[in-house]
Structure 1
Amino acid sequence: MTITYSCIANGRVVLAELALTGGSYQEAAATVLKLVLLRAEPKTITQMGSYVYHTLFVNGITYLCATDNAFDSVGPSAFLKKVSDTFVKNPLMSQEHFSPSHAVAADFQQVLGKYMVKGFQNTRKIPRRVCRKYFKKIIIITVAIVLSIIIILLSINVIPT
């Protein structure tokens, strides 16, 4: 799972965005933002083209990211939660009415970039842990089957004792 695009929007107005790879994310993101506003659900997952768009909708602000893997929803959810927590703590957001500004965009492009790269590094470690876990299970099952076969063969005297 790689987060390739992320943005923060107030309604349909994008406050900050960052794409780590080339692609036309803006059109799909605009469509997803429209769907989020219509549904008003806290979390949504939408597949458009070869990307999956995950959103977190909190207090009128939509946090959105695009991934290249439809099967992982934990990583993007954690990423969006971390970005929303950071966004809320920003002093520019403490104003009663805020509008998109270059200060917000510049601040959060760096934040988005940092979290996107950090999330990518963390998710590369997950498959190794999963492989080790399944490898151990396979070895235990194999040993159990071999021992069972040996016991059965010994009990019916196929293997002389």
Structure 2
Amino acid sequence: MTITYSCVANGRAVLAELALTGGSYQEAAAKVLRQALLKAEPTTIIQIGSYVYHTLFIDGITYLCATDNGLDTMAPSAFLRQMEYNKNGSRMVLSTVKSQVSDVKSIMLRNIDTILEKETETVRILTEEAGDPQATAEELENSKKMPKRTWWKCFKIVVTTLAIPLSIIIILLSAHVIPT
């Protein structure tokens, strides 16, 4: 006895299938699924052509396999039970994976929040340092004028420093206090 085809279906929709040998199993599987749904029994055995189709119906899911020997019913039954058992095992694996994905997601969200907080703080600091653009422009313009103002002040001090003694000398010369 060889299991040549197997599938898992929800109603008439085949969710997954595997054919170990060449052949057109899809049409026969569709007929078997239709008949199994009409019978609504937990297990059915239907022969189509040279293949015997065994089904197991649990919780709305149909497990189906095709064999080339109609006399053996134990091996296909065990195979279908194993398919159903693996589904329950995969639920546990799936829930574990979902839990891990949820944990990773929460860690990533915390990391993103931390990065956004740091970026917000950086933007706030830059904004405070930049201040008002108009004020910054005026400060730049004033800083350009500072050397001119400083030069003019220095020039006034030099002129005043030279003018006062020169005036005193001229006054003293004109008053003939200093002999010429």
Please tell me the TM-score bracket, short chain as reference: 0.5 to 0.7
User: Does 2:34 match 1:34?
Assistant: yes
Q: TM-score, normalised by structure 2?
A: 0.50
Separation of aligned partners in 1, 2:93 and 2:59: 12
Find the counterpart in structure 2 of residue 46 from structure 1: 46
Separation of aligned partners in 1, 2:60 and 2:88: 12
Which stretches of structure 1, 4 residues or longer, exceed 4 Å deviation after superposition?
Answer: 92-95
Q: TM-score, normalised by structure 1?
A: 0.56
Q: Which has the higher helix share?
A: 2
Q: Is the 8 A contact 1:43 1:55 kept in 2?
A: yes
| Deviation by residue 1:71-122 (Cα, 9 ceiling, x = unmatched) | 0000000000001010122239979xxxxxxxxxxxxxxxxxxxxxxxxxxx
User: Does 2:55 match 1:55?
Assistant: yes
| Deviation by residue 1:7-53 (Cα, 9 ceiling, x = unmatched) | 00000111100000000000000000001111110000000001000
| Deviation by residue 1:128-150 (Cα, 9 ceiling, x = unmatched) | xxxxxxxxxxxxxxxxxxxxxxx
Separation of aligned partners in 2, 1:64 and 1:93: 23
Unaligned 5+ segments in structure 2 are 96-180
CA RMSD of aligned residues (A): 1.7
Structure of greater relative contact order (alpha carbons < 8 Å, 6+ residues apart):
1
Find the counterpart in structure 2 of residue 72 from structure 1: 72
Residues 93 and 23 of structure 1, relative CA distance in 2, 3 Å threshold? farther
Separation of aligned partners in 2, 1:47 and 1:93: 35
Unaligned 5+ segments in structure 1 are 96-161
Separation of aligned partners in 1, 2:93 and 2:29: 22
Find the counterpart in structure 2 of residue 11 from structure 1: 11
Separation of aligned partners in 1, 2:92 and 2:66: 25
Three-state SS of the structure 2 residue aligned to 1:90 is helix
Letter in 1 for 2:88: V
Q: Work out the number of aligned pairs and report it.
A: 95
